[in-house]
Structures are given as C-alpha cells and as structure tokens.
C-alpha cells in the first residue's frame, strides 16, 4: 500500500511540474500584459511615449549661398583617362567626386545640379577641360551616374561655386 501511495504522489508531482511548464509557455507566448512600445519611438523612464521631435531647420551657415552660379553643358570622362595625371598632379579616379573646368581655380568646390533630374553632387575641380566646343564642365563617371546622365553622356547643369582654395599657389596649374 505504501508503494501505491508513493507512486501516486510521484505521479501528482510530475503532473504539477508539467502543468506549471505548460502555463509558463502559454503566458510567455501571450506576451506582456501591457501593449508593447517597441518601434513606437522614444519613451521616458516610466515607459510613456515622448513627443515626436521637431524637424530640423536648415542652418544657412552650414549651407552658404554660392559665390557664383552658372548654367552650362556638362559631359563626363571615364575609363580612357582613369589612372592618368590630372592638371593638379593627382591621379584621375573615374569613381571620385571630381570635375574638370577650363578657368575655375583648381581645388575649387562646386555643387553640380542636373537641371532635368534635379539631382546634385558636390565635386572638387582637379583638372582642366573639357576641350570639346560648347561644353564647359567634365565630371567623373561616378558623378555622371549620380546625376543621372551617364548613359546619355551630356546634361544641362547648374554649377554653384561653393569654395575657392585659400591660395592659388597651393594648387599647381592655377
């Protein structure tokens, strides 16, 4: 009889353990009692949602007005010049953010805006050219891709002169 009681007690203990595990799994699968704030933005230490931050306004000091702007026809140059020396002595990289212009000081920084696509890129003038009549700017292949005229080859662009080097003597060829 003792054996029978011990067996029944073990059986009850096993059922309690199994039942506890099942209840724990159900509660775990159901998730927390309060709704999740995950992905809803920042929360304070108590768990309440913070108000959405205001949108930033542009700082004119960080985006100065161009020193000069002009519209011209731009082309691009790529693999046939890749690895060759540019007018300022750098090695041309067709994937760089550079351009060639006949008169802008070498080292100048310009924003080039494709007037058709409205895409823009910031580039540095490091070479002279183009030497094809009617064109005033040659950009690298990468810049032409970013501006969306790599397949067509030509684009009407606006050039915004943003920065001129401190000293023309610092850049050979000026």
User: pLDDT digit of tens for each residue in the chain (174 aa)?
Assistant: 666 556 556 666 667 766 676 666 676 666 665 555 455 556 677 777 767 666 666 566 666 689 999 999 999 999 999 999 999 999 999 999 999 999 999 999 999 999 999 999 999 999 999 999 999 999 999 999 999 999 999 999 999 999 999 875 555 565
Distance CA 24, CA 127 (A): 71
Torsion, CA 111, CA 112, CA 114, CA 120, rounded to 10:
-40
Distance CA 132, CA 53 (A): 51
**CATH of the domain spanning 68-170:** 2.40.40.10
Q: Where are the domains of the chain?
A: 1-28, 68-170
- Cβ neighbours of residue 83 closer than 8 Å, sequence gap 6 or more: 91, 92
- Cβ neighbours of residue 117 closer than 8 Å, sequence gap 6 or more: 147, 148, 149
The partner residues of 71 in beta bridges, in order of sequence, read: 158
Q: What is the pLDDT of residue 172?
A: 58
E-only strand ranges, the chain: 68-77, 98-101, 109-114, 120-127, 137-140, 154-163
Q: What is the pLDDT of residue 124?
A: 97
């Amino acid at each position: 009889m003792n054996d029978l009681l011990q067996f029944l007690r073990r059986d009850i203990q096993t059922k309690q353990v199994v039942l506890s595990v099942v209840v724990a799994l159900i509660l775990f699968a159901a998730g927390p009692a309060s709704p999740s704030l995950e992905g809803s933005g920042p929360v304070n230490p108590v768990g309440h949602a913070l108000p959405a931050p205001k949108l930033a306004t542009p700082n004119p000091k960080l985006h100065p007005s161009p020193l000069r702007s002009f519209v011209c026809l731009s082309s691009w140059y790529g693999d046939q010049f890749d690895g060759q020396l540019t007018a300022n002595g750098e090695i041309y990289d067709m994937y760089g953010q550079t351009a060639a212009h006949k008169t802008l000081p070498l080292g100048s920084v310009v924003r080039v805006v494709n007037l058709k696509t409205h895409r823009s890129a910031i580039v540095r003038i490091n070479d002279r050219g183009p030497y094809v009549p009617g064109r005033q700017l040659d950009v690298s292949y990468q810049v032409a891709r970013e501006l969306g005229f790599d397949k067509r080859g030509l684009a009407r662009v606006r050039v915004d002169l943003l920065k001129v080097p401190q000293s023309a003597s610092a850049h050979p060829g000026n």
